[in-house]
Amino acid sequence: MCNAPSFRVTAAMMTLGATGLASAQGDGDTAAGYRNGAIITSEDGNFSLRANAEFQFRYQATFGSDTDSDHDAAMGFQYNRTRLKASGHMLDPKLTYQVLAEFNRASGDSNLSDAFGEYKAKPNLRLRFGQFKPAFDREFSTTSPTLVLLSERSIPNAIFRVGRAQGVQARLDGDRWRLYAGLNDGRFSLNTGYTSPIEAEYAVSSRAEFRLGDASWDQWRDQTAFRGDEFGALLGAGVHWQREGLTGSPDGDGYLAFTADLGVEGSGWNVLAALYGHQIDTGDSDDFTDLGAVLQGGLFLSERLEAFTRFAEVFPDDDRAESDSFTRISGGLNWYAIPESHAVKVTAEVAHSLDAQADSAPPVAAPSQAHALLPDTEDGQTALIFQVQLVF
């Protein structure tokens, strides 16, 4: 008979933004406290549970759109992202888990985003299984949305990323490099059964990263560099391939995506460049190859105030009905309530589209609430975004 683990929570200091575990020890060495989230552990240390919440609230205004025939503007409040996460380990610290629920910004309905386990088979080998983000790119796969430089990831990333899927993945670590490889159900196939028509029959995702300089792996978890951070560079590349099978695929007979990115950071400044592309095999003569590029950077003006800018462009295939390139330029400021912490962050951003969205659709889709991009047949659409972020 297996007895349930015994938990006892004791009084603990819970300071937002603390980097160490502030805990009170009682009989049996049980503990509760704060370490990147509220955490409790079992008496024997074989079970742990960390709870996190993330919240992003916005005011958005978009000018120059075709949303309303009588007005060329739309504005109002919305929550951009609300998520609850539970993570920890069980039986052995080598066996970890994570469950992440996210609330839809349009309807408020809850949705399962992550549900996976990971086993550290060797000091440099991790095996993951369940539903998660297959390793492919830096903007989405390896960076949380609360750790990006601007209010949201780039439009090219929204087009070319793999998204979430169900599958298995291995990660092999070296001191200066990391390799990821996995099998999954295909891009954007979260919360699907194996007979779902939106799944690929099989898909392969992979990514390689190599770091230079003194910046540690932990420094590359976010897209910014605080004052005092080490100088370094991170070079990454990813490939995703999937094939239609018996259950079908939304991308036709086959789909190939590829990306390369370079991040460079120093004390108080950061630069990230990324290239994206995909090839869509529709099964007939209408095959498409679309490309995208992103260049962004940030600079701290003081201990808490950071200026940023981004240039993003999408190049649809010439054979598409609407094949004009789409360019968006963004800039603004981040204010960090706690120095060197993303726990409380305020962002003010302005984004201007140099081209008409409709002339590049697809692949540039609208409306996109995350990017404040609305349908538009003329160039010059401008969006203002004011966001408050809480992570605890």
Amino acid identity, position 91: L
Is the confidence at residue 273, as pLDDT, over 50? yes
DSSP state at residue 221? G
Phi, psi of 365 (to 5 degrees): -100, 150
* pLDDT grade for 1, boundaries at 50, 70 and 90: very low
Helices then strands, each counted (H, E), the chain: 1, 18
Which pLDDT belongs to residue 229? Answer: 97
Which of the 8 DSSP states describes residue 358?
G
Q: What mean pLDDT comes out for the span 203-222?
A: 97
pLDDT of 2 higher than 70: no
Instruction: For residue 72, give both structure tokens.
Output: 């060329």
**Whole-number average pLDDT of the chain:** 88
| Residue 265 pLDDT | 98
pTM above 0.85?
Answer: yes
82-324 classified as CATH 3.40.50.300: no
Which residues neighbour 45 within 8 Å (Cβ) at sequence distance 6 or greater? 29, 93
Confidence of residue 30 (pLDDT cuts 50, 70, 90): low
- For 334-352, the pLDDT digits (tens) are 999 999 999 999 999 999 9
pLDDT at 36: 77
Structure-token pair, residue 299 = 């600079």
- Domain range summary for the chain, segments of one domain joined by +: 1-46, 82-324
- Between 202 and 215, name the one with better pLDDT: 215
pLDDT at 99: 97
